[in-house]
Each structure stands twice: as C-alpha cells, then as structure tokens.
Amino acid sequence: MATSEQTDKRTGRPDEIEAVPVRHPGRWIAAVIVLVVGASIIKSIVTAKGFQWGVVGHYLFDSRILHGVLATIWLTFLAMAVGILLGVVLAIMRQSPNPIVSGASWLYIWFFRGTPLLVQLLFWFNIASLFPVINLGVPFGPALVSPHANSLVTTFAAVLLGLGLNEGAYMAEIVRAGFLSVPHGQTEAAQSLGMSRLQIMRLVVLPQAMRVIVPPTGNETISMLKNTSLASTITYVELTYSAQLIYSANFKTIPLLVVISIWYLVLTSVLYVGQYFIERRYGRGFTRAERASMRARWLGMGRGGGGGIA
C-alpha cells in the first residue's frame, strides 16, 4: 500500500502509484500443508500390505467382475427410469385438485420414503410368504390371471421393484420442488391463453422445472448406482454379489472390496460427465457468465484477488 509521497520535481504532479499486489502467503502455506499430508496418506495407502494390490490387479478385469459391472449399469439405468417416470406421475398427482388422488400420492411417498430400502428389497424378494398367488383382475371381483408370486416376481423383478418404487418416492419430491420453482405467473399466463392443465404441465411448467430437477436427479442416479449393491442381499448377480462369491471362496476379502470400490468410482465419474452435459443443456438462457477461468485462480495464489483468509 505504498503510495509515493514524492512529487515529480519537474511537473509538480505526484508520481505514479507504486501498486504492490496483495500477497497471499497463507494460501501457499495451506497448499503445502495439504500436499504434504495428502502425500503421506497416499503413501500409507499404497504401501499397506493388507490391500494386496497384486490381487486387486488380478481381479480388476475378471470376467465375473465385468459381468457384475454390466449388470450394475443396466440395473441403475432401469431403476432410475422407473423411478423418474413414477416420480413425475406422483408429483403431478400431488398437484391435483382432487384430494383423493393427491392424498394417495402423499401416502405412497410417505410409505416408501419411510421404510428402509433394504427391508423393502427383502419383502419383494420373499413376497410369496405373504401372497403365494397374485390374483390380477377386478378388485374385489373375479381374477383374470393368478400366477404364482415367485413366477411373476422373479429375483430381477424384485430388485427392480424394490429400487424403482423407492426411487419413485424420492423423485416425486424432487420433481415437486422443480414445479414449485417455476413462477406461478407462468401458469397464470398459460391459463389466460386457454391452455388445458395437461398442456400447461407439458409445454410450460415441466420444461422450465427441468433446470431445477436435473442436479438432484444426478445426485439420485449416483446414489442409485451404490444402492444397487443392496441387491446382493437377495442374491441378484451384480458387482458386489460377484465379489462376495469370489472372496467367500478364496478369502481375499479386502482386495476384492478394493476392486469393486474402484469400479464404483469409475462408474460414478462417468455419471459426473453425463450430468455436466445435461445441466448445460437445460441451463441454456439462465446461467451467468462462466466462473473465473482456472488460470486466473492459479494466478490468484501469488497475487491479486483480495479477501478470504490470509
């Protein structure tokens, strides 16, 4: 903050200000601390014998593990599809002026968010204990078809129902939040143009609500990717179950858990990229100017960019 007090003898005007950039030694100290601590943690992880990195490498591309990876991807995709569809329907039902319809939706959401996912999966898997035969037909009337519960609800169907119906309840709240974020003026303007409720929902509200729906939905998808591991408790062959079968036979529990952790991380990272592109598409016309580029932030380590701690 040195301002030159001297005046130029010739012209009598003050010299140009000697602007010294703001120093940020604290940023450098913090960076060094984080790097040193991080390096020591990474070294302990890499050299810990229990990980048996050789075994990890051996099983990373094992055919059973890869088969499990594909099953997990497929299950995540299908369960999210069921969940999103169901969530949109439930959210629209919640908006309904009909109290029975809106109440039914509320009850569904309350029940499926209120019980643990693991318990839901166990119930679907063992549904034949409750309903040995499922009668499909007129409620309280004659049944058209009566399949055995275990033939109708296969293990795959049980997993899909468990994950999808649970996800539907959570998505319903996310979609409802999206609807709430669209200014009511939009609906009023559309109504004044004579659009029906369905047209308003489809053409005006839903497209604008997408901007607010997409980030939490990305979060839910990433969460679903990990929730599929619960299917291992009901013997569905996905990634975690495949690893469990291998390590129950060869006792190499930790290396195989590392293998599946690596695969889950890789798949999650792919989803990050997907979410970025979807968010960009739905954020058109809304996002402010891009944040300061990375280069400017690195320069700020040395100088400039005041404020913040140290």
Partner 1 sequence: MFTWRKSLLAALLLPCVVAIAACGSSNSSSSSASSASSTAASTAASTSTSAASSSSGGANAAVAKLVPAALKSKGTLTVAADATYAPNEFIGSDGHTVVGMDADLAKALAAVMGLKANVVNATFDTIIPGLAAGKYDMGASSFSDNKEREKTVDFVDYFIAGESFITKASGGTEISSIADICGKTVAVEKGTTEEADAGTQSKKCTSAGKPAVKILSFSDQNAANLALSSGRADLGFLDSPIAEYQVKQSNGQFKVVGDAYATGPYGLAVPKGSYAPALLAALKVLMQNGTYSSILSHWGLTSGAIPAAQVKINGATS
Applying CB under 8 A, which of residues 99, 139, 251, 289 lies at the interface with partner 1?
A: 251
Q: 303: which 2 tokens?
A: 């100088």
By beta-carbon proximity to partner 1, the closer residue of 141 and 306 is: 306
Q: How many residues bind partner 1 (CB under 8 A)?
A: 41
Residue 19 near residue 293, CB atoms below 8 Å: no
Hunting for tokens 């975690």 — which residue is that? 240
How large is the angle between the packed helices 239-250 and 63-94, nearest 10 degrees? Answer: 140
- Asked whether position 135 contacts partner 1 by CB under 8 A, the answer is no
Among 6, 11, 98, 129, binds partner 1 (CB under 8 A): 129
* Residue 229 interacts with partner 1 (CB under 8 A): yes or no: no
The interface mask with partner 1, positions 269-308, x = CB under 8 A, is -------------------------------------x--
Site for partner 1 in 70-109 (CB under 8 A): none
- For partner 1, the binding residues in 7-46 under the rule CB under 8 A are 22-26, 29-30, 33, 37, 40-41, 43-44
Q: Is 262 one of the binding residues for partner 1 (CB under 8 A)?
A: no
26/283 with CB nearer partner 1: 26
Judged by CB under 8 A, the chain residues 45 through 64 that form the site for partner 1 are 48, 50
Q: What single string gives the DSSP state of each residue in 8-54? A: -TTT-SBPPP-PPPPB-HHHHHHHHHHHHHHHHHHHHHHH-GGG-HH
Q: Is the Cβ–Cβ distance between 166 and 120 less than 8 Å?
A: yes
Q: Which is nearer to partner 1, 22 or 292 (CB)?
A: 22
Cβ contact 155:182 at 8 Å: no
Distance of CA 255 to the CA centre of its chain: 26
As a whole number of angstroms, the distance between CA 164 and CA 151 comes to: 19
State yes or no: residue 149 binds partner 1 (CB under 8 A). yes
Q: What percentage of the chain's residues is helix, strand, coil (to nearest 5)? A: 70, 5, 25
- Considering the rule CB under 8 A, would residue 248 count as an interface residue with partner 1? yes
For CA atoms 47, 49, 54, 60, give the dihedral sign.
negative
CB of 145 to partner 1, least distance (A): 18
Q: Among the candidate windows 72-80, 128-136, 172-180, 181-189, which touches partner 1 by CB under 8 A? A: 128-136
Which of residues 46 and 273 has its CB atom nearest to partner 1 in the complex? 46
Site for partner 1 contains 126 (CB under 8 A): yes
The verdict on 242 binding partner 1 (CB under 8 A) reads: no
How far apart CA 86 and CA 99 sit, in angstroms, is 19
Any idea which residue has 């890499």 for tokens?
46
Helices (H), 95-154: 99-114, 117-125, 149-152
The residues that touch partner 1, with contacts defined as CB under 8 A, are 22-26, 29-30, 33, 37, 40-41, 43-44, 48, 50, 122, 125-129, 132, 148-150, 155, 233, 235, 241, 244-245, 247-249, 251-254, 306, 309-310
